[in-house]
């Protein structure tokens, strides 16, 4: 019975552990498709589909934030390896945690400001995108969700560094 439960939960755990990769892949595929459709439209119909650029730009922001989350998860951000190698393990750990905490603070501030922007869009501004007339708060909410994934990955990274 326990092995059946573990087999069922394994795909969910894999999905949760790699959610940003899956979402990024889907977004990149959609971006490729709409860009390809736009190219075909330009050459075959002699008309550009302006709304496609709106989708591409907003998805690009989301994919960028998800890429940041992936880099924190895999510890693949740039660092000063030369300086890091010249210090003790204890100092390396302290500097790594300091850098992660500062990064965390930046992303928390951006997420907080994004939350305020979403609230203002819903309650006061009521702006919509130019081409598709989609309420802007929808795009901003996608950005906020991606920011929250970054925050979670930074917290996980801090926990991994502290446990070493």
Identify the pLDDT of residue 79.
79
Identify the pLDDT of residue 4.
52
Identify the pLDDT of residue 49.
84
β-pair partners for 128: 135
- Kindly report the number of other CB atoms within 10 A of residue 102's CB atom: 11
- pLDDT reading at 3 higher than 70: no
- In whole angstroms, give the CA distance from residue 124 to residue 28: 32
Q: What is the pLDDT confidence band of residue 101, given thresholds at 50, 70 and 90?
A: very high
Number of domains in the chain: 1
Identify the pLDDT of residue 2.
52
Q: Which residues contact 147 (CB under 8 A, 6 or more apart)?
A: 65, 107, 110, 111, 114
- pLDDT reading at 12 higher than 90: no
Question: What are 55's two structure tokens?
Answer: 């989708």
Average pLDDT, the chain: 92
Q: Which burial class, exposed, middle or buried, applies to 148 when counting CB atoms under 10 A from its CB (0-12, 13-18, 19+)?
A: middle
- In whole angstroms, give the CA distance from residue 12 to residue 15: 5
Mean pLDDT of 43-54: 87
106-145 pLDDT, tens digit each: 999 999 999 999 999 999 999 999 999 999 999 999 999 9
What domain range includes position 109?
Answer: 2-163
Question: What are 31's two structure tokens?
Answer: 């971006």
- In whole angstroms, give the CA distance from residue 60 to residue 62: 5
- In whole angstroms, give the CA distance from residue 150 to residue 13: 18
């Amino acid at each position: 019975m326990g092995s059946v439960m573990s087999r069922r939960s394994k795909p969910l755990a894999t999905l949760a552990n790699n959610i940003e990769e899956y979402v990024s892949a889907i977004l990149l595929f959609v971006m490729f498709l709409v860009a390809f459709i736009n190219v075909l439209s330009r050459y075959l119909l002699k008309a550009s589909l302006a709304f496609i650029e709106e989708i591409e730009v907003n998805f690009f922001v989301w994919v960028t934030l998800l890429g940041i989350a992936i880099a924190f998860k895999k510890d693949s951000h740039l660092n000063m390896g030369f300086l890091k190698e010249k210090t003790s393990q204890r100092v390396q750990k302290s500097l790594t945690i300091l850098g992660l905490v500062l990064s965390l603070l930046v992303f928390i501030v951006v997420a907080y400001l994004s939350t305020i922007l979403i609230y203002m869009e819903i309650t006061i501004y009521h702006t919509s995108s130019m081409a598709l007339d989609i309420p802007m708060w929808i795009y901003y909410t996608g950005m906020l969700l991606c920011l929250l994934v970054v925050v979670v990955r930074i917290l996980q990274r801090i926990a991994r560094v502290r446990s070493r």
